[in-house]
Amino acid sequence: MRSLNSDMSRFSGRQFTQRIVYPMAGIMILMIIVVIGFLILSARQQNRLEIDGSMRLATTALQVKAREVGRNLRDYTIRPDVHENLHDGIDLGWAVTDGNIGGTLYSELGYEMVFVVAPGDKTIYSLIDGVPTKADAIELMPRGLRDLLHVAAIQPDPTTSLIKSGSDVYVVAANGILPPSIDRSTINPRDLTMLVFAKRLDQKFLDRMGHDYLLSDLTISFDEQHGKEASIPLMTQNRMYLGTISWSPPKPGNQLLSFIVPPLGMALLVLAAFSVLVVRNARRSTTALEESATRVSHLAHYDALTSLPNRVLFRERLDTALSPLAQTSQIAVICLDLDNFKEVNDSLGHAAGDQLLQQVSERLRSCISYNDTVARLGGDEFAVIQIGSSQPHDAEELSRKLIDSIRTPFIVEGHTLHIGVSVGIALADTTDGAPERLLKNADIALYRAKQGGRATYRIFEAQMDAELQERRGLEYDLRQAVLKNELELHYQPLIDLENQTVAAVEALVRWRHPMRGLVSPADFIPLAEETGLIVAIGEWVLETACSQALDWDRLRIAVNLSPVQFRNRELVETVRQVLQRTGLDPDRLELEITESILINDAAAALEILNGLKSLGVKIAMDDFGTGYSSLGYLNSFPFDKIKIDRSFIGDLSDTEKSGAIVKSVISLGQSLKMVTTAEGVETSEQAAFLRQQGCDQVQGFYFSKPVVAKELAAFVERWNSDKKQRVLEVEAA
Ligand code: C2E
Ligand code: MG
Ligand code: MG
């Protein structure tokens, strides 16, 4: 739990942004850049490929056009009639008039220039735009035609070249006029008459070529600044620059981009929106997780009811305070335990108990200083870590303050509650410093404070520990005793002074310890009360006494009840069941209670007393005069008997005061119609005095010590036989 907490709290919202959001956003942006970059590159690549392809196509188209010119030319140069009429001088009638080499070459085949050049580069026939002229071919095409003619003369097939004429570029083909019937090897190439066809690379030509080869927007320019993406240079045979054909090829890459970018953009937008959503959700759940981790951490370290630090946090703080780094030894651990809290809880219920604890917590918190810690260790146990400057003075002062603050009554659900707090102090510099030891010592001191009358404090001393060990041993033994039936009952008679009979016997518990011998109830009843064992012991006593009483005809049996048994609402039911099981007449059972049950919650006590009364049993107020309650309750509570505490009887002979008190209690009892019993009668003088004062019953060693059942029976028998003598003795005194 702790490690989960710390892990979670370490993972804050800011860290979430740093560890998750930033890297994710980074990766996304990088991915988007990569994708866009890749797209642009491949689009460019596509465009490049297209340009290269269209350039190859344009080059091929030009070559095909040139070959076409050559083929057209060849159709003429191999004709025997052409050889006949153009070789060795020209027959103009045949050429022009008959239309053999005439206007149709321009109008149908589109050759702007046609020349017949005789050996010695002498133009003997020129057709310009289909019209015969006297133009000289070499003059019209001064650069390139002569070279072409010389190369063509030695080639059987037409030779083509690009040649400039004026401001235009022409595809020019030349071929010697030589029908196949003449053996070429018998002819000197210089003697050949050459036929020349020239086609102008004008816009019409380019449009046609573009149409045929799907090249759009072909233009020709005569410098290299054409401003278009694709171009091919026009060169002569001997690599002289003539001009450039340029065009705008399609851009499939751009098309691809324009096709892909909108949906891609949309996709990226959606992705981005989705990512924002995912991050927001993740952030939200991280925040929720963080909050729940904080809650868990708070639950793990703070008490849910009072919001004080709990035992876990207390230990952490104590460890820190005691660590060598803290460099302070003036530390006190102060353990607190509420007095009478259980009574409040039992009588008013848990909700009221919770409210009381909350109010107590507030008061404790207001007592400590900023550096100190007050924690709820559980139930009604609290503890303080005090960092003092002068111990034990500081711890004592704080303890007094704490005790005083809790002493002030609390108001819970309209009830005014008086509780107290017992305090145990342990000082770090007198202990070996181990946190567990310190806490344990404070607890031992607390126990001593409780024993010392509550609402007080004790500082731990070494011998307290030994005493506690002893007590622990005793506690263990007592538990064993209950299990092993080591408890036994002794009985002491109560004598009726008026008619000299044994009126009742009081059952008094004893513990026959294998080592310690017979242990007095004064030594183990408080321990049994603290540990709660008294409930089991009390029930055993009640049952044993009631069954024993069945053996004694008419004798009333008195059984002591502890205040601890009184806290339990089950008490009435327990008594009822015991009576039912044993079959004892309820009228013969007398329950002895002490004033202390009335101190905390008189209303609850009255309710239980009334419950007991309704069973038909008698109630006696034991040890009367030792408590601190007012006499008023005698009137309002259903007591049948007052037992005057033996301390007053013992003092009878020494002080007059005791005599006066005893007298007035007897008369008080009489006026309230309660039986009065005097305890601890040891002498005949005491017995006589009490009889004189009108006391109803006496109990004491003078008559009999508490004895086992058999001896009690013998006593009763003896008493009945010589009671006269006893009475005489009493009277004589
Ligand atoms: P208690 O109820 O007041 O019992 C009377 C005590 O006075 C008994 O002490 C008895 O032995 C003693 N006593 C009787 N006559 C004389 C006398 O003449 N002189 C002197 N000095 N003492 C006399 P015990 O038996 O030691 O019991 C002490 C207390 O322990 C009882 O006081 C009672 O409060 C408690 N106790 C005894 N048995 C039980 C029990 O079964 N349940 C509970 N809850 N408490 C018991
Ligand atoms: Mg008693
Ligand atoms: Mg008593």
Between 285 and 507, the higher pLDDT residue: 507
**pLDDT, mean of residues 709-717:** 94
Q: Does the CB atom of residue 521 touch ligand 1 within 6 A? A: yes
Distance from Cα 635 to the centre of ligand 3, integer Å: 20
Would you say domain 311-460 falls under CATH 3.30.70.270?
A: yes
Ligand nearest to the CA of 596: 1
Which pLDDT score is estimated for 6? Answer: 43
pLDDT at 730 over 80: no
Strand positions, DSSP E, 599-640: 618-624
Question: Which protein residue has the closest C-alpha to ligand 1 atom 45?
Answer: 560
Q: What residue spans in the chain does CATH classification 3.30.70.270 cover? A: 311-460
Q: What residue spans in the chain does CATH classification 3.30.450.20 cover? A: 76-247
Instruction: Please give the angle made by the CA atoms of 232, 235 and 239, to the nearest 5 degrees.
Output: 130
Ligand 1 atom closest to Cα of 521? 30
Which pLDDT score is estimated for 139? Answer: 92
Q: Which of 350-354, 647-651, 721-725 has the lowest mean pLDDT?
A: 721-725
**pLDDT, mean of residues 230-250:** 87
Q: Does the CB atom of residue 562 touch ligand 1 within 6 A? A: yes
Q: How confident is the model at residue 654 (pLDDT cuts 50, 70, 90)?
A: confident
Which pLDDT score is estimated for 585? Answer: 96
- Mean of the per-residue pLDDT values of the chain: 88
pLDDT at 359 over 80: yes
Between 103 and 569, the higher pLDDT residue: 103
Question: Which protein residue has the closest C-alpha to ligand 1 atom 17?
Answer: 680
Structure tokens at 509: 């518990």
Which pLDDT score is estimated for 725? Answer: 62
Q: How confident is the model at residue 344 (pLDDT cuts 50, 70, 90)?
A: confident
SS3 of 58-91: the string is: HHHHHHHHHHHHHHHHHHHHCCHHHHHHHCCCCC
Distance from Cα 492 to the centre of ligand 1, integer Å: 9
Phi, psi of 155 (to 5 degrees): -100, 140
Which pLDDT score is estimated for 1? Answer: 38
Q: Does the CB atom of residue 698 touch ligand 1 within 6 A? A: no
Ligand nearest to the CA of 644: 3
Question: Which protein residue has the closest C-alpha to ligand 1 atom 43?
Answer: 560
pLDDT at 3 over 50: no
Q: Does the CB atom of residue 518 touch ligand 1 within 6 A? A: no
**pLDDT, mean of residues 287-301:** 86
**pLDDT, mean of residues 529-555:** 93
Q: Are the C-beta atoms of residues 163 and 137 closer than 8 Å to each other?
A: no
Substitution site in 568, 623, 679 for ligand 1 pocket (most atoms within 8 Å of beta carbon): 679
Which pLDDT score is estimated for 267? Answer: 87
Which pLDDT score is estimated for 727? Answer: 54
Class of domain 487-732: alpha beta
Substitution site in 560, 594, 651 for ligand 1 pocket (most atoms within 8 Å of beta carbon): 560
Nearest-angstrom CA–CA distance, 542 and 589: 9
Q: Does the CB atom of residue 704 touch ligand 1 within 6 A? A: no
Ligand nearest to the CA of 510: 1
Q: How confident is the model at residue 328 (pLDDT cuts 50, 70, 90)?
A: low
Percent of the chain with pLDDT over 90: 51
pLDDT at 11 over 70: no
Strand positions, DSSP E, 367-409: 373-378, 381-387
Pairing of strands 487-496, 501-513: antiparallel
Q: How confident is the model at residue 9 (pLDDT cuts 50, 70, 90)?
A: very low
Percent of the chain with pLDDT over 70: 95
Q: What is the largest CA-CA distance in the chain?
A: 201
Substitution site in 508, 524, 541 for ligand 1 pocket (most atoms within 8 Å of beta carbon): 508
Q: Does the CB atom of residue 539 touch ligand 1 within 6 A? A: no
Q: How confident is the model at residue 553 (pLDDT cuts 50, 70, 90)?
A: confident
Q: How does pLDDT run across 48-66, given as a tens digit for each residue?
A: 998 999 899 999 999 999 9
Ligand 1 atom closest to Cα of 592? 2
Strand positions, DSSP E, 514-588: 517-519, 556-560
Which among 91, 194, 187, 104 is positioned nearest to 150, based on CA atoms?
A: 194
Which pLDDT score is estimated for 8? Answer: 45
Q: Does the CB atom of residue 304 touch ligand 1 within 6 A? A: no
**pLDDT, mean of residues 615-636:** 84
Q: Tokens 């005014």 identify what position?
A: 416
Q: Does the CB atom of residue 520 touch ligand 1 within 6 A? A: yes
Distance from Cα 507 to the centre of ligand 1, integer Å: 9
Q: How does pLDDT run across 435-476, given as a tens digit for each residue?
A: 888 999 999 999 889 888 778 999 999 888 888 888 888 899
One DSSP character per residue, 466-524 reads HHHHHHHHHHHHHHHHHHHT-EEEEEEEEEETTTTEEEEEEEEEEEEETTTEEEPHHHH
**pLDDT, mean of residues 214-238:** 83
Q: How does pLDDT run across 586-622, given as a tens digit for each residue?
A: 999 999 999 888 776 788 889 999 999 999 999 999 9
Question: Which protein residue has the closest C-alpha to ligand 1 atom 5?
Answer: 679
Any residues with CB less than 8 A from the CB of 687 and at least 6 apart, and which? 497, 681, 698, 700, 702, 730, 733
Which pLDDT score is estimated for 274? Answer: 86
Burial status of residue 418 (CB atoms within 10 A of its CB: 0-12, 13-18, 19 or more): middle
Nearest-angstrom CA–CA distance, 348 and 674: 31
Q: Tokens 């008023």 identify what position?
A: 632
**pLDDT, mean of residues 121-142:** 91
Q: Does the CB atom of residue 725 touch ligand 1 within 6 A? A: no
Q: Does the CB atom of residue 91 touch ligand 1 within 6 A? A: no
pLDDT at 2 over 50: no
pLDDT at 7 over 50: no
Structure tokens at 678: 């005097």
Q: Does the CB atom of residue 54 touch ligand 1 within 6 A? A: no
Which among 448, 345, 442 is positioned nearest to 398, based on CA atoms?
A: 442
pLDDT at 4 over 50: no
Burial status of residue 93 (CB atoms within 10 A of its CB: 0-12, 13-18, 19 or more): exposed
Any residues with CB less than 8 A from the CB of 688 and at least 6 apart, and which? 730, 731, 733
Q: Helix 602-615 to helix 571-582 angle, to the nearest 10 degrees? A: 20
Ligand 1 atom closest to Cα of 701? 18
Which pLDDT score is estimated for 263? Answer: 87
Which among 562, 572, 504 is positioned nearest to 538, based on CA atoms?
A: 562
Q: What's this model's pTM, rounded to 2 decimal places? A: 0.53
pLDDT at 432 over 70: no
Q: Does the CB atom of residue 686 touch ligand 1 within 6 A? A: no
Q: Does the CB atom of residue 525 touch ligand 1 within 6 A? A: yes
Q: Does the CB atom of residue 563 touch ligand 1 within 6 A? A: no
Nearest-angstrom CA–CA distance, 138 and 196: 11
**pLDDT, mean of residues 9-25:** 70
Q: Are the C-beta atoms of residues 220 and 18 closer than 8 Å to each other?
A: no
**pLDDT, mean of residues 179-186:** 88
Sign of torsion, CA 215 217 222 228? negative
Ligand 1 atom closest to Cα of 699? 15
Nearest-angstrom CA–CA distance, 148 and 160: 8
Sign of torsion, CA 700 703 705 708? negative
Which pLDDT score is estimated for 279? Answer: 79
- Give buried/exposed letters for 488-521 (b at 16+ CB in 10 A, else e): ebbbbbbbbbeeebbbbbbbbbbbebeeeeebeb
Q: Are the C-beta atoms of residues 219 and 248 closer than 8 Å to each other?
A: no
Class of domain 76-247: alpha beta
pLDDT at 46 over 80: yes
Q: How does pLDDT run across 375-429, given as a tens digit for each residue?
A: 999 999 999 999 888 888 999 999 999 999 999 999 999 999 999 999 999 998 7
Q: Does the CB atom of residue 565 touch ligand 1 within 6 A? A: no
pLDDT at 542 over 90: yes
